[in-house]
Amino acid sequence: ITFLSHLAYSEMHAMDDGCSQGSDFDASNESDDCAYEVAHPDSNRHLERLASFYSVQGLCSQSDWQGCVQRLATPQPPSFRLLTAGKSASARILQLLSAWKPVVVPWCHGAHRLMASGDTNVKGFLLDKRLNKLLNGLQRAGHISRQESASMLPVTVLNILPHHLVLDMCAAPGSKSMQVLECQNLTGHVVSLESAPGLLVANDMKSKRLNRLIERARRVPAAPLLATCSDARKYPNLHWAMERKGRVRFDRILCDVPCSGDGTVRKAKGLLAHWTPRAGLCHHADQLAILCRGIDLLAPGGLLAYSTCSLNPVECEAVVASALAWAGNTVEVEEPQLPQLHLAQGVTTWRIPSAAAGWDTNLAGGHRSYAAWQEVPVEERGGGHLRKSMFPPETYAVSKEELASISVQLKRCRRLLP
């Protein structure tokens, strides 16, 4: 599940201290590498709870949502991108995988999905050991890059060109970074730093995860890569050396932020045993801080993609709306153009779960939730669990004009449902 928003930066805007820096975080932002150790025998009941909570969020019509729930209970077909140059080499790889019925993913160059791959375990790993071994071997050899098809969307819609200066703010373990490098290196040959027109700066705050990304990049011909280890919420300013002066600003920025990951339950079944509606609350402040910092680093006329693998509006529309309010008129949302793919429109109203209450089948969605900040009891307003920025923009918009502008732009955001 990927929620996308393009932000076109139109003028300089300095970062202020209004964005919460939050506490230290260590959440995975790669849906294709999520793994959960514990499964619960009553997974159907957990899926029913997730379905009940999101049924009142208005992500789509009730009939469409029922279809989504049915698909969440089915195995997730694995996907990959071909890295081998040449039609003959690609054909040989597809022939090796023919028993698992590979089909083309039409909106991403070189991407395929295996439709007869079988089921996965609670950690999200394929039960078919032969297929798992074959895919791992092809990736280690640099012939393919394993990546869920939904995870390919943010880079695809950014329309990255070889000359672009690109920042991946939360890059590890590196599936999207590898996709960016492919976009920047159309020749398929090793490019030297001196002759390269563009550059990817891949950042992550955990050095071990960053080392994994670097190791992946070494396996294939790639455009120049600069790896940085920093907290994305407070990413430092980079400055040009030699003849160029001033701060570095990026043509394209990818904010694929740490999230609750509840959009990955089709693959990582073990997540259901731990899921609660409150899971997204603890990520909201960090996500907002990362997005605001990304906006500040974007060049005039540049594009930024904000994405999560979560269904929860508190991690998606709420973050985008608050960032728009923070940035004023310096940014605007652009609707992603993917005619081959059906994407749901962003929502303008949503409900925030209580930070304290448990399950109650007598309540809509099975959990106490609030549609507006004014509904939140005084005892739940302290401690930072619930924030005004989590709620729809009428909570904090300073004028009717600002509220109308944010609401229109939220409708341009897109969500990929199961």
Q: Which residues are catalytic?
A: 309
d(CA 51, CA 46): 9
Cα–Cα distance, 223 to 191 (Å, whole number): 5
Q: Which residues are 256's β-sheet partners?
A: 307
Q: Which residues pair with 199 in a beta bridge?
A: 165
Distance CA 187, CA 193 (A): 15
Characterize 214-241 residue by residue with b for buried, 16 or more Cβ atoms within 10 angstroms of its Cβ, and e for exposed: eebbeebbbbbbebbeebbbebeebeee
* Residue matched to tokens 């074959």: 134
- The pair of structure tokens assigned to 262 is 């509840």
Tokens standing for 80? 């990959």
Other CB atoms within 10 A of residue 60 CB = 18
> Angle CA(288)–CA(107)–CA(151) in degrees, nearest 5?
35
Evaluate whether 309 touches 161 at the Cβ level (below 8 Å): no
Q: Which residues of 263-293 are buried (b: 16+ CB within 10 A; e: fewer)?
A: bbbbbbbbbbeebbbbbbbbbbbbbbbbbbb
CB-based contacts of 154, cutoff 8 Å, min separation 6: 2, 4, 176, 254, 256, 305, 307
CA distance 188 to 207: 28
Which pairing describes strands 111-114 and 165-168: parallel, antiparallel, or unpaired?
unpaired
Q: Give the integer Cα–Cα distance in Å for 237 and 206.
A: 19
User: What is the distance of C-alpha 293 from the center of its chain?
Assistant: 16
